[in-house]
């Protein structure tokens, strides 16, 4: 199984739609442990990305993803802008010249994107950031694909790992980002970046199923 350029574009579009529908919730999650701008920021980033998509329909997946990443980096403020941008840019670096990726190539590209975010933000699993959703998802995806799990099922497993990851952020104290300023008082609150990470995986599931 593969993912085409058009499916990759549909994925970003579907994610932008999901974020639009959940923007208030994402802002509220950020307001509880940060400054409340996360929803608006990622909405703005994805809005610009989807506006760019029609101009990218002839581009390969790598070029499309890196242009989306650069756009998101420029229009999104805050901590998450450079981090989200890096996810797409690093993912794109593994898809240069390709109009279609095999499931394994996609898994490898996604993991490379997540590793890029970890290098930039220096966050590990357990720091109560987006990495708590992305890292287990990337690991689940690559493991499942290596075991020859059909692509949509592997993505569903990665989505489940991201869900478990974001849910766990409520049980831990933040060690990175603005949420670390309030320390233990953030216990019980879900990290917005991790929740948005789960949404990205869920959107991919929806497009592939
Ligand atoms: P801020 O308003 O503090 O500049 P944003 O609202 O743009 O930040 O983004 C907040 C999200 O960024 C958090 O929910 C968290 O998931 C993520 N985040 C913060 N620091 C890091 C980091 N070092 N590495 C990865 N993700 C991070
Ligand atoms: Mg914020």
Q: How many whole angstroms from its chain centre is CA 29?
A: 17
pLDDT for 91 equals 98
pLDDT for 99 equals 98
Tokens of 165: 């990851």
Question: What mean pLDDT, rounded, does the chain reach?
Answer: 98
pLDDT for 111 equals 98
Which residue's CA is the nearest one to ligand 1's atom 3? 178
Place 129 in a pLDDT band, splitting at 50, 70 and 90: very high
Q: How much of the chain, in percent, has pLDDT values that exceed 90? A: 99
pLDDT for 57 equals 95
How many helices (H) and strands (E) the chain has is answered by 9, 2
The mean pLDDT value for 204-209 works out to: 94
Ligand 1 geometric centre to CA of 163 (Å):
18
pLDDT for 209 equals 85
| Nearest in space to 148 (alpha carbons), one of 105, 104, 201, 112 | 104
Q: Which atom of ligand 1 is the closest one to the Cα of 132?
A: 16
Residues with CB under 6 A from ligand 1: 30, 34-35, 37-38, 41, 78-80, 83, 121-123, 129-131, 176-178, 191-194
Q: Which atom of ligand 1 is the closest one to the Cα of 131?
A: 25
Ligand 2 geometric centre to CA of 91 (Å):
24
The mean pLDDT value for 65-89 works out to: 96
**Nearest-angstrom CA–CA distance, 78 and 94:** 26
Residues with CB under 5 A from ligand 2 (ion): 30, 34-35, 37-38
Tokens of 130: 């987006």
Ligand 1 geometric centre to CA of 154 (Å):
27
Ligand 2 geometric centre to CA of 38 (Å):
5
The mean pLDDT value for 75-91 works out to: 96
Place 171 in a pLDDT band, splitting at 50, 70 and 90: very high
Which residues, at least 6 apart from 148, have a Cβ–Cβ distance to it below 8 Å? none
Ligand 1 geometric centre to CA of 16 (Å):
19
Q: Which helix (H) or strand (E) holds 177?
A: none
Contact 145, 107 (CB under 8 A): yes
Q: With a cut of 90, say whether residue 66 has pLDDT above it.
A: yes
Ligand 1 geometric centre to CA of 124 (Å):
13
Q: With a cut of 90, say whether residue 77 has pLDDT above it.
A: no
Residue to substitute in 34, 37, 79, 83 for testing ligand 1 pocket (most ligand atoms within 8 angstroms of CB): 79
């Amino acid at each position: 199984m593969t993912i085409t350029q058009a499916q990759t574009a549909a994925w970003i579009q579907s994610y932008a739609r999901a974020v639009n529908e959940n923007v208030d919730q994402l802002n509220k999650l950020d307001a509880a442990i940060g400054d409340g701008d996360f929803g608006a920021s990622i909405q703005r980033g994805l809005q610009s990305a989807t506006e760019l998509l029609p101009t990218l329909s002839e581009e390969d997946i790598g070029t499309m993803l890196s242009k989306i990443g650069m756009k998101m980096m420029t229009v999104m403020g805050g901590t998450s802008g450079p981090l989200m941008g890096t996810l797409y840019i690093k993912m794109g670096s593994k898809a240069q010249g390709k109009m279609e990726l095999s499931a394994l190539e996609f898994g490898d590209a996604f993991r490379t994107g997540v590793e890029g975010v970890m290098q930039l933000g220096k966050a590990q699993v357990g720091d109560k950031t987006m990495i708590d959703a992305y890292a287990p998802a990337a690991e689940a995806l690559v493991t499942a694909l290596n075991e020859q799990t059909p692509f949509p099922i592997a993505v569903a497993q990665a989505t489940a790992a991201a869900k478990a990851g974001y849910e766990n952020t409520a049980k831990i104290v933040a060690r990175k980002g603005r949420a670390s300023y309030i320390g233990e008082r953030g216990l019980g609150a879900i990290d917005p970046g991790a929740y948005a990470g789960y949404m990205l995986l869920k959107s991919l599931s929806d497009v592939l199923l």
